[in-house]
Structure 1
Amino acid sequence: MLGVVLESSAYSNIPCPLFYQSLTQYGSSMSREQLVVERARRAFQTGMSKPLKFRVHQLKNLHRFITERRKDIADAVKKDLNKTEHSTELFETLGLEGEIDVAVERLAEWAAPRPVEKSLLTILDEVYIQPEPLGVVLIIGAWNYPWAVTLQPLVAAIAAGNAAVVKPSEVSSHSAKVMEELLPLYLDKELYPVVCGGVSETQELLRQRFDHIFYTGNSTVGKLVMEAAARHLTPVTLELGGKSPCYIDKDVDLRVACRRITWGKFVNCGQTCIAPDYILCEPSIQDRVVEEIRKCITEFYTDDPKTFEDYGRIINQRHFQRVMSLLEGSTVAIGGDSDQSQCYIAPTVLKDVTGGSKVMQEEIFGPLLPIVTVSGVDEAIQFINEREKPLALYVFSPDNKVKTIEVKSKVIAETSSGALVANDCLVHFTVSALPFGGVGNSGIGRYHSQHGFDQLSHLRACLIKKLNLEDANAMRYPPHTAKKLDHSTGQINRP
């Protein structure tokens, strides 16, 4: 086992005293994953991750990693998802850098004691909330945005003073390899190890005890993660997904609405957890919606998206087959062509789709956009509420004040979703001040900026009393009499 571990590119030629100590104490029968977690826990127990100066230093090193290894990251994402360098910067690293900058700037404020309102009984005491690190966090990343959704939780974990074991998705294998090989050159290797591998390695990690598990992926695996966490009473953050609806009011500016929807749906070849999964609109505008989207597809990706460098590919053959199978029984209005050898599926719009259609039975996570017709906002709300709560809900309504307030207010009041965005798609993910997370089947917990810091912290309740003024505490001591209560409160009059 020792040889196996040391052959791993993430650990070779690295002096790790705590690692060797764990080998000596527990022997070589422990799995690689057990050893990594034990090493991270022992490092955390030294207290080295708690000082704010150390946290800031690690965050700055993470920023330096992104900056100095930008080409390596872009090359890996190109191989995994056929994204261009500029697309990778826009959707992967730019937001990460911003998240780190905010954390560095605000960390002292986030980590400071937070005074709370006092009562008459605590008016002379110190009463506050103290954010504290949880301990060792497991971060299981996703393949669709292999850098953003893996390293953003790491930013929160570092900022909160935790150790973190990072498990990138094996599906985006090139990104995982770069992360495994290069990230340990910038971050503390004991506190923030990277563990690569597939299902068996992930299962072995989930057998270990962590203080928090942060998983990004689908609800099926999310349930397995939660089940494994329950064995140790470990809290979880589950960033899942689901079918995010997009309602278009008949009076909206369709040119602008469809332009934004087309962008939100087909970026990253539809492999975005908050992509609009399907459109709800009245039958009278369905054909116009199709035509406007057709124009936008041509504008964004030319007449031949297959040859256009800014149009991606499905991650692998298995997902290609899954997405293509969802076309069964639906009417193709735009696109529909594919090339299995390249994992290429054209931007595709399906019309006259019903709630019972195959494409409506699961999250699409690909470049298929079904249109379901409804009689208006009331039926749209009913359709949404009959299904699992989505990660995002999009509403397009006109800028007319009365109509806008009517439609948006109604949808906000009568539905539930992780987020609601009016007249745009995806952009809420870029707003650090907003919590990002789901509700119900679309996820548990939230992150981004201070929301991530708080999610991966224990908000410890603290009350500090003095030993003087003992007479003021007389009411609580036996014997409990009406006279003592009256005297202590000065407010209760008894006959």
Structure 2
Amino acid sequence: MDKMQEIVALQKKFFQTNATKEVNFRIAQLKKLESLLRENEDFLHEAIYKDFKKSAFENYTTEISLLYHDIKEAVKKISKWSKKKRVRTNLVNLPAKSYIIPEPLGVSLIIGAWNYPYQLSIAPAIAAIAAGNTVILKPSELPINTSKAMAKLINENFDPNFFRVVEGGVPETTALLNQDFDKIFFTGSVSVGKIVYQAAAKNLIPVTLELGGKSPAIITENCDLKITVKRLIWGKFLNAGQTCIAPDYVVVHKSVKNKFLELAKKEIEESKFLVEEDNYVQIINDANVARLIALIDADKVYTGGKYNTDTRIIEPTILTDVTFEDNVMKDEIFGPILPVIEYEDLDAIIAKIKEMPKPLSCYVFTKDKEYKQKVLNQISFGGGAVNDTVMHISNSNMGFGGVGDSGIGAYHGEYGFKAFSHYKGILDKPTWIEPNLKYYPHTKSKLKWIKRLIG
């Protein structure tokens, strides 16, 4: 038995003890995790700063605070989420009771992403633990210091048969995907998501895929342009654009395009991304720096466009006069480059967006209810916002997930609990009565009564 097989086998053995099915056990483990995070905040801040200069401010607001929220919500609501739920019994089965029992799937594999390495690794683990599963967590190897930090905190403080971090790159991930898990949860690119899905299919393993895509922001002629720009620039250049739900590109009505560009440039300047210390993060590695630089068409730069390959910094950059045929519009940008496309007819631009793969997010900025409903009803996407960007992820009452190329399944709050659970339907019948209609021998009289009852 190789290392990965042994790790999974030991977790399967532990799961079969039924320890994780006890609600008090789950709550205790989550509280322990929260304490570890709080006691080691500075350690976590230092690790992520070493990886790509993410400040304590951004690390807390965009990662750690969300984990605290998830833990507190789960601890408060696990008992409710875990209860069996009575449902109506249909006429054919009366007299009887019917109910649904949530049960954990078993041993779960969680493969995290590099752009928000704590949040996108630990948040799914919180959901898995809340639902009563054991967890093998494989963080992204790109931010090596955060990977090591999570491995240290979790592996030194939790029973590895219950919760374990496995570090490594492609070989380790491939070895894990060859194992027979009860659930796989992956966050990352569409291309790798397809590999994960294919690997899971071999053993019919249920999966949740949190992917990405080119998320549009539609700016109509009657929006509040000032607040639109403020919210959009923040959402786009947060984490230097390395956010799966960042506005990937903007389509702006011709009548307000020039004013939008002026305000956007001013907002970038006032945000002082590159002036204030720790106000902007690095691109994760040299390969991504080179990829992003290749997308900057110097002839279309409205503002920004400069970069430093030594420090892995690319200025917040706006490209104008962009078309859907440009290179920057072929794949998700995942960096601080914002293409701006002009439009005149909303119906035509909606039709163009619908020709593309379904995005993870979509944003519409407008005061017009008809425009809003048209965008929300006609464009298929994972989730989004009206007159805002990114912040929908902070509401755990809404499931977060993609559709089509942008993902399969959802999580956050109870949606995360459901992602790692099976809902077992039970019909509970008494024995003091037993109608004879369904039993042999079949007769015309019985069929007549069955038709009366069923219709």
Q: TM-score, normalised by structure 2?
A: 0.97
Equivalent pair of 1:329/1:357 in contact (CA under 8 Å): no
Q: Give the structure 1 partner of residue 401 of structure 2.
A: 437
Q: Give the structure 1 partner of residue 440 of structure 2.
A: 478
Q: Give the structure 2 partner of residue 369 of structure 1.
A: 338
SS across alignment from 2:363? strand
Equivalent pair of 2:92/2:454 in contact (CA under 8 Å): no
Q: Give the structure 2 partner of residue 296 of structure 1.
A: 267
Q: Give the structure 2 partner of residue 322 of structure 1.
A: 291
Q: 1:307 to 1:299 in 2, by over 3 A?
A: closer
- CA positional deviation for 1:275: 0.1
Pairing of 1:166-315 with structure 2 (within 5 A): 166-301=137-272, 305=274, 308-315=277-284
Q: List alignment gaps of at least 5 residues for structure 2.
A: none
| Aligned counterparts of 2:386 and 2:450: Cα–Cα separation in 1 | 55
2:384 is the alignment partner of 1:420? yes
Of residues 181-190 and 252-261 in structure 1, the stretch that sits farther from structure 2 once superposed is 181-190
List per-residue Cα deviations over 1:394-424 (Å, max 9, x = no partner): 00002xxxx2x20111112111000131000
Aligned-pair Cα RMSD in Å: 1.5
Of residues 481-490 and 237-246 in structure 1, the stretch that sits farther from structure 2 once superposed is 481-490
2:17 to 42, 46, 49: 46
Of residues 118-127 and 425-434 in structure 1, the stretch that sits farther from structure 2 once superposed is 118-127
- CA positional deviation for 1:211: 0.7
Q: TM-score, normalised by structure 1?
A: 0.89
Identity %: 41
Q: Give the structure 1 partner of residue 316 of structure 2.
A: 347
Equivalent pair of 2:229/2:264 in contact (CA under 8 Å): yes
SS across alignment from 1:342? coil
- CA positional deviation for 1:92: 0.5
| Aligned counterparts of 1:154 and 1:186: Cα–Cα separation in 2 | 15
SS across alignment from 1:154? helix
| Aligned counterparts of 2:103 and 2:74: Cα–Cα separation in 1 | 16
Q: Aligned letter for 2:112? A: G
Q: Aligned letter for 2:107? A: V
List per-residue Cα deviations over 1:84-124 (Å, max 9, x = no partner): 11111100010110011010000011000111222112332
- CA positional deviation for 1:489: 7.0
Equivalent pair of 2:92/2:453 in contact (CA under 8 Å): no
SS across alignment from 1:182? helix
- CA positional deviation for 1:488: 6.2
Q: List alignment gaps of at least 5 residues for structure 1.
A: 1-29
2:371 is the alignment partner of 1:407? yes
Q: Aligned letter for 2:409? A: G
Q: Aligned letter for 2:72? A: D
Q: 1:478 to 1:151 in 2, by over 3 A?
A: same
Give the length in aligned residue pairs.
Answer: 455
1:61 to 25, 29, 32: 32
| Aligned counterparts of 1:150 and 1:353: Cα–Cα separation in 2 | 35
| Aligned counterparts of 1:48 and 1:120: Cα–Cα separation in 2 | 38
| Aligned counterparts of 1:274 and 1:444: Cα–Cα separation in 2 | 15
SS across alignment from 1:354? coil
| Aligned counterparts of 1:490 and 1:343: Cα–Cα separation in 2 | 74
2:360 is the alignment partner of 1:387? no
Q: Give the structure 1 partner of residue 85 of structure 2.
A: 114
